[in-house]
């Protein structure tokens, strides 16, 4: 008898002394997402320092972000497909190794062209993080727990954003900005070694007992069949993620790439003084990431259907982003920090539920591919939006008013799009047969 076939006598699946290895997996995903965002955010944080040394413009910086975005789009799409083919264990390890080497390479360059080349390699690797992590959550968790698990690992992006300014300020002050990139690169390589040593599928993992495996498989699940890329657009989950990502990811990229510069130009604070405001912002985003995932799970336990609970959570998060349009008008840095922190926290709660809708609506064999395809499309748009932001700031003398105004409305529009694309009930999407509603 296999672990999957055994349930303790008189117990429901998941009752009894089940192991908790799935939460160890979430901890590993949280750690690599933290590293992912440390590597990604470091250049934006060091931008005033490097910009002063290399004398590049906002347009140049926009072009650097554009190069990263195009590579990230390619990495998102290709690594998602590769992960569906070779599995989460090797797929995520390959991605992490690529971007860790790329992060360290930033310390070796000294020109706009050099940074563009390093960002291209970084983007190719980093594109594999979220497709692999979402697929891992779909593999290890039943539907009712996936948004919470996604919110927890996704909160690593906030911790990475929190850690990055501390690393940037401490290391740069002592050993120079180049060393900050070397350190984050080494950390990623060390994580890869640990991941390869510890990760296995639930059926193969020695730390998973029969009760935990029964719990993981405790609800009617989406079909396991592998889905070719040519068929991904047949699924409502793919379209939902594309629409939600296209409308909101450019805003998130703006926050991560330009908020340090906004605070620097608006309130005239240097790298060391930026540390505390950015720590506050990313602590708020941690709460939003986990809270957004918790909210939809709580609504399900209160009797709401899967899709209704996800949509209500998306709407709550979207409404919390609206006040950010006031940030450029604030004369007090902490008022601006509060508004930006609330908006970024709401994005993370929104993102946790948007990611989870993919695994709610797709066969497991297509989850990473669908996330990869949607992420690819939204990253391309994010790249073009970054180029536009750079040119707009140069043209207006660093006036951020229009940019924050657009960010304030994007999530409400995205929520409406998700509502129109999804059916009322999960069963209505034909999920048991592996056919989604387009």
Distance (Å, whole) CA 186 – CA 432: 44
Looking at domain 16-433, its CATH class is mainly alpha
Q: What is the residue-level pLDDT of the chain in tens, covering all 438 positions?
A: 344 443 433 334 444 588 888 999 999 999 999 999 888 888 888 887 887 787 878 888 888 888 888 898 888 778 777 887 888 899 999 999 999 999 999 999 888 889 999 999 999 999 888 888 988 888 888 877 887 888 788 778 778 877 887 787 788 888 988 899 999 999 999 999 999 999 998 888 888 898 888 888 886 655 555 666 667 777 777 888 889 989 998 999 899 888 888 988 888 876 667 778 888 888 888 788 788 878 888 888 888 888 888 899 999 999 999 999 999 999 999 999 999 999 999 998 998 888 778 777 777 667 667 777 777 888 888 888 888 888 898 888 889 999 999 999 999 999 999 888 876 555 444 444 333 332
Tokens of 429: 């999407």
Question: Which of these, 198, 241, 272, lies nearest to 436 by C-alpha position?
Answer: 241
| pLDDT for the residue numbered 77 | 76
- Concatenate the DSSP letters of all residues of 278-307 into one string: HHHHHHHHHHHHHHHHHHHHHHHHTT--HH
Distance (Å, whole) CA 312 – CA 292: 10
DSSP class of 9? T
| pLDDT for the residue numbered 14 | 43
| pLDDT for the residue numbered 154 | 79
| pLDDT for the residue numbered 1 | 35
Distance (Å, whole) CA 344 – CA 346: 5
Q: Where are the domains of the chain?
A: 16-433
CA 51 from centre of chain? 27
| pLDDT for the residue numbered 361 | 74
Q: Which long-range contacts (CB under 8 A, 24 or more apart) does 206-209 make?
A: 207/19, 207/21, 207/24, 208/3, 208/19, 208/21, 208/22, 209/3, 209/17, 209/18, 209/19
Distance (Å, whole) CA 337 – CA 261: 13
Q: Which residue has the tokens 């690169």?
A: 185
Tokens of 306: 């899967």
How many C-beta neighbours within 10 Å does residue 110 have?
12
For the whole model, what pTM was predicted?
A: 0.69
């Amino acid at each position: 008898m296999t672990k999957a076939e055994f349930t303790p006598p008189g117990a429901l699946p998941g009752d009894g002394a089940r192991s908790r290895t799935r939460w160890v997996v979430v901890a590993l995903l949280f750690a690599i997402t933290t590293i992912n965002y440390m590597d990604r955010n470091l250049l934006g944080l060091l931008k005033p320092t490097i910009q002063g040394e290399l004398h590049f413009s906002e347009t140049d910086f926009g072009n650097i972000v554009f190069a990263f975005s195009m590579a990230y789009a390619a990495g998102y799409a290709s690594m998602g497909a590769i992960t569906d083919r070779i599995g989460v264990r090797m797929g995520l390890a390959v991605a992490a190794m690529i971007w860790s080497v790329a992060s360290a390479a930033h310390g070796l360059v000294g020109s706009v062209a050099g940074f563009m080349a390093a960002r291209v390699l970084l983007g190719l690797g980093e594109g594999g993080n979220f497709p692999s992590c979402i697929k891992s959550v779909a593999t290890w968790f039943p539907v009712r727990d996936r948004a919470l698990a996604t919110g927890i690992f996704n909160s690593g992006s906030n911790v990475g954003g929190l850690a990055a300014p501390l690393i940037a300020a401490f290391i740069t002050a002592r050993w120079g900005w180049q060393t900050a990139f070397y350190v984050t690169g080494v950390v990623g390589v060390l994580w890869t070694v640990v991941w390869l040593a510890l990760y296995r599928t639930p059926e193969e993992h020695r730390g998973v007992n029969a009760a935990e495996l029964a719990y993981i498989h405790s609800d009617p699940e989406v079909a396991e069949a592998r889905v070719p890329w040519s068929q991904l657009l047949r699924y409502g989950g793919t379209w939902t993620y594309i629409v939600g990502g296209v409308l909101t990811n450019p805003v998130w990229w703006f926050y991560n790439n330009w908020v340090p510069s906004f605070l620097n130009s608006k309130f005239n604070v240097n790298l060391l003084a930026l540390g505390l405001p950015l720590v506050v912002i990313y602590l708020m985003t941690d709460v939003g990431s986990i809270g957004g995932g918790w909210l939809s799970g709580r609504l399900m336990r209160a009797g709401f259907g899967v899709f209704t609970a996800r949509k209500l959570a998306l709407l709550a998060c979207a409404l919390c982003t609206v006040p950010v349009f006031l940030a450029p008008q604030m004369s007090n840095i902490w008022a601006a920090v509060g508004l930006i922190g609330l908006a970024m926290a709401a994005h993370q709660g929104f993102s946790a539920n948007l990611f989870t809708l993919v695994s709610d609506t797709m066969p497991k064999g297509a989850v990473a591919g669908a996330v990869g395809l949607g992420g690819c499309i939204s990253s391309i748009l994010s790249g073009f939006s970054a180029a536009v932001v750079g040119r707009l700031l140069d043209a207006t003398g660093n006036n951020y008013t229009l940019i924050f105004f657009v960010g304030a409305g994007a999530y409400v529009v995205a929520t409406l799009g998700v509502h129109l694309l999804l059916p009322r009930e999960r069963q209505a999407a034909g999920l048991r047969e592996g056919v989604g509603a387009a």
